């Protein structure tokens, strides 16, 4: 009797768009997909930082290029996507936060966070899916969401609203696009040690709250997200769509 063979985690011959690739989780995911064999199109607003990411991927034997666009500007993003060949993998790590008490939220802060985290994510998904439908190859769309798409958080009402929105959006899109062999999922990290979260860890009270919630007793590092990204991008997750991969150290377990 022949034993079954594990599906490949390799991404050779695949084209992968990674947004938010200039730093933090996005940069780490770009590196991970490049290491797995994908040609990475690294996207963000900061071209100088993107060039550093692309250079590092190339130094490690990977293939990558820069694509500059602003995910909050739908015209800019749409034009950039139309000019590109269809992608096999799209990983969205672009995101912003303007934390503060819900009662003090200003409309301009609400709009700024919504425009990137939810509106931008929605139409990036739509643009990516149209390309995948056109190619006939299907593909994998991955959003870096958050554990805050599953629970509430202190002074994070707007941020939670965007991430809960992404979680619902992904479920609906998964149903619509499955017939085209397009999978769409989220990765939901806990607090990851990046420039984005550093202020939270510098506040003793906030740090104590975070560490009390993370059952594995440490914040995440970007490396903790890289394997999840490769998994959801690869054939190893071929039967997974419309769901969340929680990389939260047990935060949402209870």
What CA–CA distance (Å, rounded) separates 132 from 87?
7
Pairwise CA distance, residues 177 & 179, whole Å:
5
- The neighbour count for residue 198, using CB atoms within 10 Å, is 9
Q: Give the Cα separation of 86 and 103 in Å (integer).
A: 43
Q: Is 231 a catalytic residue?
A: no
How are beta strands 139-144 and 89-92 bridged, if at all?
A: parallel
Active-site residue, from 110, 122, 159, 231? 159
Query: The tokens of 87 are what?
Result: 């992608």
Nearest-angstrom CA–CA distance, 216 and 107: 37
At residue 164's C-alpha, the angle toward residues 158 and 169, to 5°, is 125
**Active site (catalytic) residues:** 159
């Amino acid at each position: 009797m022949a034993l079954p063979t594990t599906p490949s985690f390799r991404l050779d011959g695949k084209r992968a768009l990674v947004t938010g690739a200039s730093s933090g989780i996005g940069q780490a995911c770009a590196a991970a997909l490049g290491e797995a064999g994908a040609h990475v199109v690294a996207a963000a607003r900061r071209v100088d930082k993107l060039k550093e990411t692309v250079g590092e991927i190339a130094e490690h034997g990977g293939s990558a290029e820069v694509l500059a666009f602003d995910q909050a500007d739908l015209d800019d993003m749409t034009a950039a996507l139309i000019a590109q060949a269809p992608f096999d993998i799209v990983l969205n790590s672009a995101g912003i936060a303007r934390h503060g008490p819900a009662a003090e939220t200003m409309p301009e802060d609400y709009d700024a966070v919504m425009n990137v985290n939810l509106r931008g994510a929605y139409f990036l998904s739509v643009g990516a899916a149209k390309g995948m439908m056109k190619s006939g190859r299907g593909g994998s769309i991955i959003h870096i969401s958050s554990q805050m798409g599953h629970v509430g958080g202190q002074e994070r009402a707007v941020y939670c609203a965007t991430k809960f929105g992404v979680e619902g959006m992904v479920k609906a899109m998964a149903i619509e696009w499955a017939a085209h062999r397009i999978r769409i999922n989220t990765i939901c990290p806990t607090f990851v040690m990046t420039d984005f979260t550093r202020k939270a860890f510098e506040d003793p009270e906030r740090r104590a709250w975070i560490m009390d919630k993370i059952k594995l007793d440490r914040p995440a590092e970007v490396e903790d997200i890289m394997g999840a990204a490769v998994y959801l991008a690869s054939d190893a997750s071929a039967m997974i769509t419309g769901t969340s991969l929680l990389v939260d150290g047990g935060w949402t377990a209870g």
